[in-house]
Amino acid sequence: MGDLNHKTKLGQPALYRILDANLDRAREGIRTIEEWFRFGLDNSEMAAECKNLRQQLAQWHSNELRMSRDTTTDVGTQLSHPSEENRESLEQVIQVNFCRVEEALRVLEEYGKVYHPNMGAAVKQMRYRVYTLESNLLAYGRHQKLQRANLYLVTSPSERLMSVVEAALQGGLKVVQYRDKDTDDHQRWKNARQLCQLCHRYNALFLVNDRVDIAIAVNADGVHLGQQDLPIAVAKQLLGPQKIVGKSTTNPEEMKLAIAEGADYIGVGPVYATPTKPDKQAAGLEYVRHATRHASVPWFAIGGINMNNFDDVLMAGATRVAVVRSLMQAEQPTLVTQYFLSQFTRVQTLRDRQIVPENTPADFS
Ligand SMILES: Cc1ncc(COP(=O)(O)OP(=O)(O)O)c(N)n1
Ligand SMILES: Cc1nc(C(=O)O)sc1CCOP(=O)(O)O
Ligand SMILES: [Mg+2]
């Protein structure tokens, strides 16, 4: 292995050069991530955590380490992979930089143990803080997407499953739930995995109906639970806190309980009687109006909603809607998606112009 105090050409121990290079690498990576939190997400809390991490790293970056730097003799400066030259998206920039920081911190943790008795433990703490930051960012991103989503597709078994979902995604759909009560688990897992990849390619959320195990197996963004399914707390414990858990509600009491239980969003319905859920009685537009006034988490009106009655649901105050048949049975799911989305925009514009508060049912007739 060689002498740990092996001197480089400049007479500095190799250890110093390793620490110097990785302190720089970690700080640069954190700075890149910090800029996104600050200017991309306007999230001062996460930006402050990055700044604090950089400052802690700076305290380890002593002059003796800095003095060991000699980029002219560093054989690593010539080594570059073509993938380092290209970044496909901002998300990739952030992801790559998290990897870079985590790698650099791991190197600092290991070599730091030789340099100073406290360095290994101090860097280990920082490495865990970076993992937490990354996980919080993922959760934040998911919740942002949920907040922005107006239209939610709940799937039904279909030979055209993938093509319908993809067509809707092409129309701008941003949330999909895989719902399949009849298929065997192996096929369910295969469908869920394929749908999850498809949704993520379109930057859309993917959730699984009822089945926390399948959601975990395919790394879905979350699950949708009904009144007879697992409690939300149990699902969150299994999925981790960064995933989304939605819950169905049919009346004001269920709504209150679901929100108190920690639902990230709720289903509000059935607005109209529907053959997709034949055993549930319609809760009606009255329940939509109740949600408009009282729901404190994102909520999706669901049940029997189609292009003909959609406007009534919007006028009752809904700003988010979930559908099964309207998209799964559509001949042109892209166009239907675009129609629904355009109506949300139209109504939002009317609300903005007439300065009608968000949580008041409207009458624009
Ligand atoms: C968005 C959304 N809302 C409600 C439901 C219905 O869930 P649940 O009551 O558990 O009934 P099943 O869908 O499991 O038959 C939903 N799936 N999605
Ligand atoms: C799956 C589901 N849940 C409902 C609820 O009210 O909880 S209504 C529903 C089915 C909605 O199907 P369609 O859009 O085809 O009417
Ligand atoms: Mg269910």
**Domains of the chain, residue spans:** 2-73+80-143, 149-352
The count of other CB atoms within 10 Å of the CB of residue 213 is 14
Which residues does a 6 A CB cutoff place in the pocket of ligand 1? 152, 154, 177, 179, 209-210, 224, 226, 229, 246, 248, 267, 277, 300, 302, 322
- Lowest mean pLDDT segment, chosen from 17-26, 82-91, 94-103: 82-91
Q: What is the pTM (predicted TM-score) of this model?
A: 0.82
Question: pLDDT tens digits for 311-364?
Answer: 999 999 999 999 999 999 999 999 999 999 999 998 888 888 775 556 666 655
Tokens of 342: 């355009």
Q: Looking at this predicted complex, what is its ipTM?
A: 0.99
Distance 304 CA to ligand 2 centre (A): 7
- Ligand-binding site membership of 264 (annotated): no
Mean pLDDT of 213-226: 98
Specify the CATH architecture of the domain 149-352.
Alpha-Beta Barrel (3.20)
Single-letter amino acid, residue 306: N
Percent share of the chain, pLDDT over 90: 81
Question: Whose CA is closest to atom 2 on ligand 1?
Answer: 267
CA distance 146 to 150: 8
- Segment holding 245, helix H or strand E: strand 244-249
- Segment holding 247, helix H or strand E: strand 244-249
Pocket test for ligand 1, best of 175, 179, 279 (most atoms within 8 A of CB): 179
pLDDT band at 13 (very low <50, low <70, confident <90, very high): confident
Mean pLDDT of 198-219: 97
Mean pLDDT of 214-235: 97
Distance 225 CA to ligand 1 centre (A): 7
Higher-scoring residue by pLDDT: 13, 122: 122
Q: Are 193 and 218 in contact (CB under 8 A)?
A: yes
Q: Is residue 246 in contact with ligand 2, taking CB distance under 6 Å?
A: no
Tokens of 89: 């998206």
Question: What pLDDT score does 169 carry?
Answer: 98
**Positive or negative CA dihedral for 249, 254, 259, 262?**
negative
Q: Is residue 224 in contact with ligand 2, taking CB distance under 6 Å?
A: no
Question: Whose CA is closest to atom 3 on ligand 1?
Answer: 267
pLDDT band at 67 (very low <50, low <70, confident <90, very high): confident
Pocket test for ligand 2, best of 277, 279, 285 (most atoms within 8 A of CB): 277
Give the atom of ligand 1 at the shortest distance from the alpha carbon of 210: 14
CA distance 109 to 93: 24
CB neighbour list of residue 169: distance below 8 Å, 6 or more residues apart: 176, 198, 199, 202, 204
Q: Are 338 and 168 in contact (CB under 8 A)?
A: no
Asked if pLDDT for residue 2 goes beyond 50, the answer is: no
Higher-scoring residue by pLDDT: 293, 13: 293
Give the atom of ligand 1 at the shortest distance from the alpha carbon of 322: 1
